[in-house]
Chain A
Amino acid sequence: MKYIDEFRDGEVAKTLAGKIAAQVRPDRGYSFMEFCGGHTHAISRYGLTDLLPPNVRMVHGPGCPVCVLPIGRIDMAIDLALNHGVILCSYGDTLRVPASNGLSLLKAKARGGDIRMVYSTLDALQIARDNPQRQVVFFAIGFETTTPPTALAILQSAQEQLANFSVLCCHVLTPAAITQILESPEVRQWGTVPIDGFIGPAHVSTVIGSRPYEFFAEEYRKPVVIAGFEPLDVMQAILMLITQVNDGRAEVENEFARAVSRDGNRKAQDRVAEVFELRHEFEWRGLSVVPYSALKIREKYGPFDAERRFRIDYTTVPDNKACECGAILRGVKRPQDCKIFGTVCTPENPVGSCMVSSEGACAAHYSYGRYKDMTA
């Protein structure tokens, strides 16, 4: 397949693995955080760690949209579907995330909630047009990648004066999450989570560009290499990070130049700025309350804000006590360090969000890599 196979070539991977092995200094360890769940998935699915020297460790980051969504937000969506009688439209991954009272969107659907999986915000808009007598709410989650389509849906429905369409906005921001990790005591004070650099987001960066990461490179002296989601992209990025560390450099480099520019997608940024503004704070699963880390719908588009329209409020709900998703999302623990990993918590019966999406660190390790724990 053109533009795909080239980035999954096993022979090129071998050459890159050889270069990485030649570059790493045996006297030190290298610890890199891949921020995005897309990278976590690629690393597990292609067995990429098998190709890395033992002193290169990949730390999974919080960049999995489903994983960082706190229980209280899913409770709001379930409340809309079960108690407000709306048609709730959601992206597929979100349906299985466990919420309060043993519910998930999928289980709420079985209880009679009209919950529909959509591939695009435009599908949700169409459902609203087709059902003028019903209220239709799009459950908008995700980082900067999924934010522009939500902005477009709101602009479109404003133009069409769709009175029955609104958005439950849970969009979050990547740079704020990276700052939170770099400022965490585990990284900054105790050094229990060594991070020598970041693999920067792929799709997110196509929207926001590479410029926002320059701050991290300068301020925190951490190299950032923006990389695509294909396995060779990740290998190349690891090589570039190792080279930067060895050279004592901390710069933003762009491995994903075929899609990412320094300024990103200006048109998308303008639409987002038109519709959304910063929330003062937002609770993330794992990272707790992070200031200015999420978006809300501007007053001007208030009629399309489901929180306003249905007067629903967010309530914090603590995670299951045994669940280590929080620590795993901060890179403090690995999936296999969690007591309930693979026993109580499995992809069939996820306790924590990291076991839900295939981008989640736990699901990726369970589905693709757990043989390593067994034979080790």
Chain B
Amino acid sequence: MSEVKRGYVRPLDLKHGHIDMTHGSGGRAMVQLISELFARHLGNAYLGQGNDGAVLPAPVLDGRAARLVMSTDCHVVSPLFFPGGDIGCLSVHGTLNDVAVMGATPLYLAAGFILEEGLALADLARIVESMARAAGDAGVPVVTGDTKVVERGKGDGIFITTTGVGVLPHDVNLGGARARPGDVVLVSGTLGDHGVAIMSQRENLTFEATIASDTAALHGLIAQLLATGADIRCLRDPTRGGLASTLNEIAEQSAVGVMLHERAIPVKPVVAAACEFLGLDPLYVANEGKLIVICARADAPRLLDLMHAHPLGRDAAEIGEVLADDHHFVQLTTAFGGRRIVDWLAGEQLPRIC
């Protein structure tokens, strides 16, 4: 982000103002928006360098050059504000989690904003403040960013892309290809909260369930899990596509099968009810603050104990195991006593008619 000398007088009207095309023009209006809103809330020494990019110290671990993890994520959620969060904190948590599930400690974030002409500055301010809070809580600064404005009708209020960089300890090797038969599958809490919170807010669905998104930064919990030295094969955060899609990815990458136990899978009653009502399957609904852990069976109990003691892992549970399976199916023993496949999601989840 660049900053030039202040050549204007009237400050941004954050109460009643709106984004217009000048905020993306590269001129004074843009600089004003950056300094009075973005820099004000997200500012730090790196961002304050004021160049096209931030100069960052290369991480060194135990005297050796460390490996970096880098991840990027685009956020296009509608509505922008929902119970439990908003697109601002979501864009921070989403990328932090993607870095953290690689086993890395997140160090820096970059943020790109695409703003739609007409966006209320008050909304933008709320979003930026929320980002700043989330980044501050996580201890990870936003070190560079960019803003563009598109004409009305060409965006959905605001799109945010964040990129995260983290440092990977020498001895950590996690990956979707490392699951092997005999491993167990743990999940850090209830499934489907985020997706149902969003869906209950969509304008054509006035569904009045009090369900809050689970959006949260998981790197603290993950750091504790890794510190145990347990044999963790793979960590994932089951966002879009839910648990089902994430496990199908892992099964494919590791060339194994997975058997889940429906009874063991934690789902909040209100989420289950909403899914029932909407004709959705919570296994396919998005989460933004949940962790899937695939680990050696012997290590499962202590990892579960640790998660149960952490605020983000109170409802953690062992939900299944990894099997040898040439077809790489994810299957489920139903609470009813039968067995079925938990397949990849085909297209979008669309409600049934009858």
Contacts and interface: CB of A to CB of B under 8 A. Distances in A.
Q: State whether these chains interact.
A: yes
Interface of A: 1, 4, 8-10, 13-14, 17, 36-38, 41, 44-51, 63-66, 91-96, 106, 117-119, 123, 141-143, 145-146, 203-204, 231, 346-348, 357-359, 363, 366-371, 374
Contacts of A119: 204-205, 351
Given A45-B334, A231-B336, 17 more contacts: A4-B272, A4-B273, A10-B263, A37-B354, A44-B340, A46-B336, A47-B339, A50-B337, A92-B352, A93-B353, A96-B350, A118-B204, A145-B354, A146-B354, A359-B353, A371-B327, A371-B341
Given A47-B334, A348-B347, A65 B353 contact: yes
Contact of B338 (A48, A91, A146, A204): A48
B322 to A, nearest CB: 16
Nearest to B273: A1
B354 A92 contact: no
Contacts of B9: none
A203 B354 contact: yes
A50 B338 contact: yes
B144 to A, nearest CB: 35
A142 B334 contact: no
A91 B351 contact: yes
Contacts of A13: 336-337
Given A1-B273, A93-B350, A358-B352, A371 B331 contact: yes
Given A96-B347, A119-B205, A347-B347, A46 B353 contact: no
A94 B347 contact: no
B151 interface: no
B346 interface: yes
What secondary structure prevails in chain B residues at the interface with A? Answer: loop
30 contacts: A1-B269, A4-B272, A8-B336, A14-B337, A17-B337, A36-B354, A38-B352, A38-B354, A41-B352, A44-B340, A46-B340, A50-B337, A92-B353, A93-B351, A93-B353, A96-B347, A96-B350, A106-B347, A119-B205, A119-B351, A141-B353, A142-B354, A146-B353, A231-B336, A357-B353, A366-B343, A367-B341, A367-B343, A369-B341, A371-B329
Given A37-B354, A91-B351, A48 B343 contact: no
B247 to A, nearest CB: 15
A322 B202 CA distance: 40
A238 B263 CA distance: 25
B351 to A, nearest CB: 4
Kindly name the residue among A17, A51, A141 whose own CB sees the greatest number of chain B CB atoms within 10 A: A51
Nearest to B351: A92
Interface residues of B, number: 27
Contacts of B4: none
A101 B204 CA distance: 31
Given A46-B338, A368-B341, A123 B354 contact: no
Contacts of B350: 92-93, 95-96, 117
Nearest to A232: B336
Nearest to A12: B336
B276 interface: yes
Contacts of B273: 1, 4
A67 B273 CA distance: 27
Contact of B354 (A65, A117, A346, A366): A65
Contacts of A142: 353-354
Interface in B187-205: 204-205
A155 B351 CA distance: 25
B58 interface: no
B352 A359 contact: yes
Contacts of A347: 343, 346-347
B337 A51 contact: yes
B347 A123 contact: no
Contacts of B331: 371
Top 3 A-B pairs, shortest CB-CB distance:
A47-B338, A347-B346, A92-B350
B335 interface: yes
Contacts of A117: 350
Given A1-B273, A371-B329, A10 B354 contact: no
B354 A50 contact: no
Given A1-B276, A4-B276, A347-B347, A10 B337 contact: yes
B336 A10 contact: yes
B338 A359 contact: no
Contact of B335 (A8, A44, A123, A370): A8
Contacts of A36: 354
Contacts of A64: 354
B351 A374 contact: no
B201 to A, nearest CB: 14
B283 to A, nearest CB: 11
Contacts of B354: 36-38, 63-65, 142-143, 145-146, 203-204, 359
A119 B350 CA distance: 10
A37 B279 CA distance: 13
Contacts of B346: 346-348, 363, 367
Contacts of B269: 1
A41 B340 CA distance: 12
A4 B350 CA distance: 21
- Chain B CB count within 10 A is highest, among A36, A93, A363, for A93
A10 B261 CA distance: 13
Interface in B281-339: 327, 329, 331, 333-339
Nearest to B346: A347
Interface centre among A47, A117, A366, A369 (most CB of B within 10 A): A47
Contacts of B263: 10
Interface string B250-267: 000000000000010000
A249 B346 CA distance: 43
Nearest to A347: B346
Contacts of B339: 47, 50, 371
B320 to A, nearest CB: 15
Contact of A91 (B329, B333, B336, B353): B353
Contacts of B333: 47
Contacts of A366: 343
